[in-house]
């Protein structure tokens, strides 16, 4: 290789939401964890259509992010982002109705959202990049889920993710977007699994 031509684009603004929805596992309300998870996942297709991307961890037992009062909590940790905006109201419009429903339906769960605006992708990347040490033995299995799988039957979603996360924290990566749906591979095809073009979530389990 002797030369490379690269087309550049302006870096987008990033509006980031970090949110925890959790309850102490010792409380009776913890029994509703997977119903809550199923409800949230049913909202992901609409959130993806609105331009949201990011990831969420789903768990029965996780170190308490609220303090030392209990070592374990049950619920959801999520980190999601919108591009080309720095207005917190854009994120609140998407999540406001969802969190109102969560508060009304699962009052035993604490909801802790935090919205931060960044001037560029690089500014966002610095405090949010993966800082975990690399290298460990792990078995990973995963599924690509479309809108029907996420929002069709919440009882099925609830049971599937409860089983999916039985050995630890399950994940639901919101991977949809125009780049996925509208890609036109050169030559008309490529080696990408066709289900990827309809997927909203890449769900994985690690053992």
- In the chain, the domains with their CATH numbers are 14-128+137-206 (3.40.462.20)
**CB neighbours (10 Å) of residue 101?**
14
The residue written with tokens 């609409």 in the block is 46
pLDDT in tens, the chain (207 residues): 899 999 888 899 999 999 999 887 766 656 788 899 999 999 999 999 999 999 998 887 777 666 666 667 788 999 999 999 999 999 999 999 999 999 999 988 889 899 999 999 999 999 988 777 777 776 677 889 999 999 999 999 888 888 877 666 788 999 888 777 887 777 667 777 888 888 999 988 765
Q: 3-class DSSP state for residue 129?
A: coil
Q: Name the burial class of residue 45, with classes exposed (0-12), middle (13-18) and buried (19+) by CB atoms within 10 angstroms of its CB.
A: buried
pTM: 0.86
Positive/negative CA dihedral, 96, 98, 100, 102: negative
**CB neighbours (10 Å) of residue 81?**
22
């Amino acid at each position: 290789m002797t030369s490379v031509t690269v087309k550049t684009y302006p870096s987008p603004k990033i509006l980031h939401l970090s949110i925890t929805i959790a309850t102490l596992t010792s409380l009776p309300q913890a029994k509703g964890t997977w119903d809550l998870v199923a409800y949230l996942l049913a909202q992901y297709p609409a959130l993806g259509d609105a331009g949201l991307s990011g990831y969420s961890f789903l768990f029965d037992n996780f170190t308490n992010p609220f303090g030392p009062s209990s070592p374990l909590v049950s619920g959801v940790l999520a980190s999601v982002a919108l591009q080309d905006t720095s207005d917190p109201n854009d994120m609140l419009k998407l999540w406001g109705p969802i969190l109102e429903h969560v508060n009304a339906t699962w009052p035993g769960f604490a909801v802790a959202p935090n919205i931060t605006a960044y001037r560029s992708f690089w500014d966002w990347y610095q405090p949010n990049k993966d800082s975990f040490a690399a290298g460990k033995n792990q078995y990973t299995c995963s599924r690509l889920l479309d809108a029907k799988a996420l929002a069709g039957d919440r009882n099925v979603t609830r049971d599937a993710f409860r089983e999916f996360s039985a050995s630890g924290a399950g994940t639901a990566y919101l991977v949809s977007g125009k780049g996925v749906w509208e890609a036109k591979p050169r030559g008309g095809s490529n080696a990408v699994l066709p289900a990827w073009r309809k997927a909203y979530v890449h769900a994985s389990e690690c053992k």
